[in-house]
């Protein structure tokens, strides 16, 4: 029975995933984790793993070397317009604690599993300004384009934006360069925190 992140990491590393097609690798990993006794929420409205060591965690899979933008989550245009504050969105809740599963696209083997804490104030501030400014553009623009970019620049790189997915669904995404900066900040925060936990 998997009870901790370390347990999950130990069983995932070395597992084979299918060749990537759409979101099939993420679904495959969710199915694996669920088969091992961890509840998975598939509604998209809350983090994927409702409870692991008393914490909600969003689950993400990523091929090593991938450079595409990374999606935090999705909302309908109606929900975006009805939710002016980042803190009240399901996106904010999903973008606090993340488990990222990296795999090699050539061998289809999971190489590492990482726990990231995105609750750092600088990360949340960048997400908040990006979301709220992009939302304001959506509210004030009757003919919304495919991409709606927020104002925030994170260390010189354009931050979060909305991408139109289908009739009324919008993915909130960060460019890969921004997400990598967030990940470095999250890793640094964890190391700093661990100094005081020992």
Burial environment of residue 173 by CB neighbours within 10 A (0 to 12, 13 to 18, 19 or more): buried
Q: What is the pLDDT of residue 89?
A: 97
Percent of the chain whose pLDDT exceeds 90: 73
By the 8 A CB rule, do 39 and 31 touch? no
Residue with tokens 């934006």: 161
Q: Mean pLDDT of all residues in the chain?
A: 89
pLDDT tens by residue, 15-74: 999 998 877 999 999 999 999 999 999 998 899 999 999 999 999 999 999 999 999 999
Q: Domains along the chain?
A: 5-197 (3.40.600)
pLDDT tens by residue, 145-163: 888 888 767 666 668 999 9
pLDDT(193) > 60: no
Q: What is the pLDDT of residue 192?
A: 42
- Tell me the β-bridge partners of 7: none
């Amino acid at each position: 029975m998997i009870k901790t992140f370390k347990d999950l990491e130990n069983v995932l590393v070395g597992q084979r995933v299918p060749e990537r097609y759409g979101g099939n690798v993420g679904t495959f990993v969710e199915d694996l984790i669920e088969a091992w006794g961890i509840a998975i929420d598939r509604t998209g409205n809350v983090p994927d793993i409702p409870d692991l060591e008393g914490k909600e965690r969003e689950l993400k899979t990523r091929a090593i070397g991938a450079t595409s933008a990374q999606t935090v989550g999705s909302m309908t245009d109606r929900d975006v317009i009805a939710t002016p504050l980042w803190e009240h969105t399901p996106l904010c809740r999903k973008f606090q604690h993340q488990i990222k599963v990296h795999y090699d696209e050539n061998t289809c083997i999971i190489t590492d599993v990482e726990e990231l804490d995105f609750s750092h104030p600088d990360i949340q501030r960048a997400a908040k300004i990006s979301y709220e400014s992009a939302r304001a553009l959506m509210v004030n623009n009757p003919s919304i384009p495919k991409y709606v970019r927020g104002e925030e620049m994170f260390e010189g790189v354009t931050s979060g934006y909305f991408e139109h997915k289908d009739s009324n669904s919008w993915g909130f995404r960060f460019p890969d360069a921004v997400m990598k900066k967030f990940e470095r900040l999250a890793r640094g925060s964890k190391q700093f925190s661990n100094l005081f936990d020992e």
